[in-house]
Amino acid sequence: MNRIEKALRVSTRRPLVVPFVTAGYPEFDSTAGLVRAMAAAGADMIEIGMPFSDPLADGPTIQAASEIALANGMTVAGVLDIVRDLRTGSGLAQVPLLLMGYCNPLFRYGLERFARDAVEAGVDGVIVPDLPPEESVEYRAACDDAGLSTVFLMAPNTPDDRVRAVDAASTHFSYCVSVTGVTGARSSVGASTVQFLERVSRLAKKPFVVGFGVKSAEHVRVLGPYAAGVVVGSALIDAIAQADPIIAVTGLVSELREAAAEIEREETDG
């Protein structure tokens, strides 16, 4: 049983807390410390963003973080070095680490080489927002051969047959985008998002997480009962920009983890 499978076993009792950080932001060497702080605060899985110059699925917050990270000199190889460092004597032996990035840098790096190097570094899975399952045959083959989990996305307007296709193409779990649009913290969660997650739960055979627009402990309480995990990205990037980065991520991830634990207690009490 690999790290993702072990984490998903926890999701049967409570939603997983999945924070996101952009590699190389706010400083080139900030990422490892931030990831360690997230893990210590209770993160179940962690997404590390690979910065790209044209991040079409990302809103202004993560776009700005990517620009800074690229200016700091972060590359795909640099991201793999960060993961390699995290897996060496840092207490992160069991926390799944997933990379989120775009297909252009991966094709340039070489898909087979990337998948092989990612697994060697300690990466568990990859999310590529601009690579749909229909165009991912070569990518999936490279990941399957290397033992790298693939995660594909679906949106609220995804029809039922495509929900099934995304679910089938994803190795361990898929990713539900909570809104039709780009990433970015939003003030509230609409009833339509819950309805979307309920629809996916009826159609998908594998677990799924929910992200995009999720920012707070209250959002975890609202969405957590309907998904295996809740991803928070832009809110963490915003927090990092406004305060001491380690203190910021520790505080927010701790709040998210407590909200997830409340769902677990409520289900147990019931």
Q: Which residues are catalytic?
A: 47, 58
For 166, the token pair is 């995304």
If we measure between CA atoms, which residue out of 102, 4, 106 comes closest to residue 49?
Answer: 102
Q: Which amino acid is residue 108, in one-letter code?
A: R
For 169, the token pair is 């193409």
Which SS3 state, helix, strand or coil, does residue 47 take? Answer: strand
If we measure between CA atoms, which residue out of 66, 52, 59, 60 comes closest to residue 21?
Answer: 66
Measured CA to CA, the distance from residue 21 to residue 238 in angstroms comes to 11
**Which helix (H) or strand (E) element contains residue 18?**
strand 16-22
Is it true that the peptide bond before 26 is cis, omega within 30 degrees of 0?
yes
Measured CA to CA, the distance from residue 4 to residue 14 in angstroms comes to 15
* Dihedral Cα 204, 209, 215, 219, nearest 10 deg: 60
Query: How many C-beta atoms surround the C-beta of residue 195 within 10 A?
Result: 12
Quote the DSSP letter at residue 23. Answer: T
